Amino acid sequence: MKMPIVCATTVAVALSVAPFLAAAQTPAAAPASSSGVAVASPTYVSIPLEITVNRPAAEVWKRVGKWCDIGEWLQIPCTVTWGKDGEVGAVRSVANEILVGRTEMFYTYTQPVRDGRPYNLYHGTLEARPVSATTSKLLYTLFFDNSMLPDGPARDKDIASRKALFTRALQNMKTLAEGGTLPPPAPRGVPPGR
């Protein structure tokens, strides 16, 4: 019977990766969180929204796609608090949001973990997408975990509130991109239209 020839290097490599392979095959326990930010059973929600704009995508993005343009179309204060405006890693004053990805007419951001609060993995993505030479779509997608809310009705209310807020934001972006002006913002705590 022939015995396979095994070199010492192969044995050493196999022995050095064995603990990692074993760990990969055994599900790891969820890490303990001393600050209470880990969520044991997340329920992820995605809210895709879009609106057609009667302008080319490049023009739309130039008008409403800068990192702190959110201040104008959401009618809230916004400043860049860290990093360079529009570059990955920049932080804006709106919920300390961090720019985590971008292309020519697209960006994605997240909100940071806050000590003592469950982390909801909130991400938002804004994109201008060409439809024709003269029209485009603005797409805004929200993604987050709403499992920390007490029940289904509370989750539904939260989703409806976010949809309403960002639908208004998209309408404001459309108005601005098409050359219009926005009405003054409603006083804080008063819903728009009252």
Evaluate whether 38 touches 116 at the Cβ level (below 8 Å): no
Q: Report the C-alpha gap between 38 and 170 in whole angstroms.
A: 32
pLDDT digits (tens, 9 = 90+) for 102-113: 999 999 999 999
**Per the domain annotation, does 122 fall within a domain?**
yes
pLDDT of residue 187: 74
pLDDT digits (tens, 9 = 90+) for 146-178: 999 999 999 999 999 999 999 999 999 999 999
Mean pLDDT of 94-118: 94
**Per the domain annotation, does 29 fall within a domain?**
no
**Per the domain annotation, does 171 fall within a domain?**
yes
**Per the domain annotation, does 187 fall within a domain?**
no
**Per the domain annotation, does 168 fall within a domain?**
yes
Beta strands in 83-122 (DSSP E): 91-92, 98-103, 106-110
The domain that holds 167 is classified in CATH as: 3.30.530.20
Neighbours of 104 (CB within 10 A): 9
Domain that holds residue 111: 45-177
CA–CA distance from 169 to each of 7, 37, 98, 166, 175 (Å)? 65, 29, 19, 5, 10
CA atoms within 13 A on the CB side of 102: 18
**Per the domain annotation, does 128 fall within a domain?**
yes
**Per the domain annotation, does 7 fall within a domain?**
no
pLDDT digits (tens, 9 = 90+) for 173-187: 999 999 999 988 877
**Total domains in the fold of the chain:** 1
**Per the domain annotation, does 68 fall within a domain?**
yes
